[in-house]
Amino acid sequence: MKLAFPPVAHGATRRGLGVSLCNKNYTTRSLGTALTLRSSPLVPYHQHRSRSQCAKRHNSDAAAPLTKNPNTNTNGNQTHTPISISDQVRLLMRRVPYPVAIITATDPSGPADTSSFRGMTVSSFSTVTLTPHPVISFNVRRPSETLNALLASGRFLVHLLAPGPATATLARDFSRGNNTLAAMLSGHGEFEFAALDVGAEGHQRPLPILRRRGEGLTPEQKGADFPFVFECELHPSKIEVHDHSIVLGTVVRTIGGSEFVSSDLDEHSPGRLCLTYANTKFWKMGEEF
């Protein structure tokens, strides 16, 4: 959902923009424990401070044993203190690959420009049900400016990423602080935000959709790093567990993705798989059994 971007390799990897990648909002800090990124405030993008569970995992040492370092008691003997159940779960769940998604929303109370855009990386994205309407979910650590924006506006976008060094760097950036977002909004970097008119009726503010920056690129080339995007309407149900919120959204529109449906690639080709995160790294999946 902090770490220098590791080379993308076949296999699997995930602390969420914001990290480990769990649920990290852009302005917040690093990704969640596992892959949950915290929300980071995009400066001026957002100023989230939430991280996803995924992010937290990835920020910790990878191969840590399930006991603390030995201590010496008064008799000179070494003793081992078991680590907490929370740390055990965190270390073990780092071995589980998670999908990487960037969530974006618009703060309806902000200025009518890009400074009201918010974003965060999460690694807790999943579908809840497909009938009667498709519903998705993800986790966000509070406080989070991206969370506040999507709760206030009732709309948000979920970007799934193609595997590669550029998209992995982008996901890590969205799990960090506002400086990265400020640079992006000021015209620096490989990616930018475009304003997407929402599918709902009324005068709602446009949503920020990510695309590659560059003159002369076709719309397909600009969106190639994001195989598909879901436009979602906030579901009335929201669950708060300790310092995290479980967000539910009803998918009202899919943007892109036609090449996944009508591609000449084999249905199980690695070329159809999105970026994943596990054990503090981003991965391109590629081996089947």
pLDDT tens digits, 245-275? 999 999 999 998 765 555 555 666 777 789 9
Query: Who has greater pLDDT, 88 or 203?
Result: 88
With 90 as the cut, is the pLDDT of residue 221 above it? no
CA-to-CA separations, 248 to 26, 136, 185, 192, in angstroms, rounded: 19, 6, 28, 26
Residue 147 vs residue 73, higher pLDDT: 147
Q: Token digits for 103?
A: 């969530």
Of the candidates 259, 249, 244, the residue with the CA atom closest to the CA atom of residue 23: 244
Query: Rounded CA gap, 7 and 231, in Å?
Result: 30
Higher pLDDT, residue 246 or 286 = 246
pLDDT, residue 154, reads: 94
What are 184's two structure tokens? 């992006």
User: What pLDDT score does 265 carry?
Assistant: 58
Residue type, 258: S
- Decide which of 97 and 185 is more confident: 97
The SS3 of residue 160 is strand
For residue 200, what pLDDT band results from cuts at 50, 70 and 90? low
The segment with the largest mean pLDDT, out of 45-54, 176-185, 195-204, 230-239, is 230-239
Percentage of residues in the chain with pLDDT exceeding 70?
A: 66
- 188: Cβ contacts below 8 Å, ≥ 6 apart: none
Burial 152-188 (b: 16+ CB within 10 A, else e): ebbbbbbbbbbbeebbbbbbbbbbbbbebbbebbeee
H-state helical runs in the chain: 53-59, 85-93, 145-153, 165-173, 178-185, 219-222, 258-262
- Return left, alpha or beta for 189; rule: phi > 0 is left, psi -120 to 50 is alpha, else beta: left
Residue 248 CB neighbour total at 10 angstroms: 17
How do strand 9-10 and strand 281-284 relate by DSSP bridges?
parallel
For 60-100, the pLDDT digits (tens) are 333 445 666 666 666 777 777 788 999 999 999 999 999 99
Distance CA 264, CA 115 (A): 40
Structural domains in the chain, sorted by start: 101-280 (2.30.110.10)
Exposure class string for 3-37: b at 16+ Cβ within 10 A, else e: beeeebeeebbbbbbbbbbbbbbbbbbbbbbbbbb
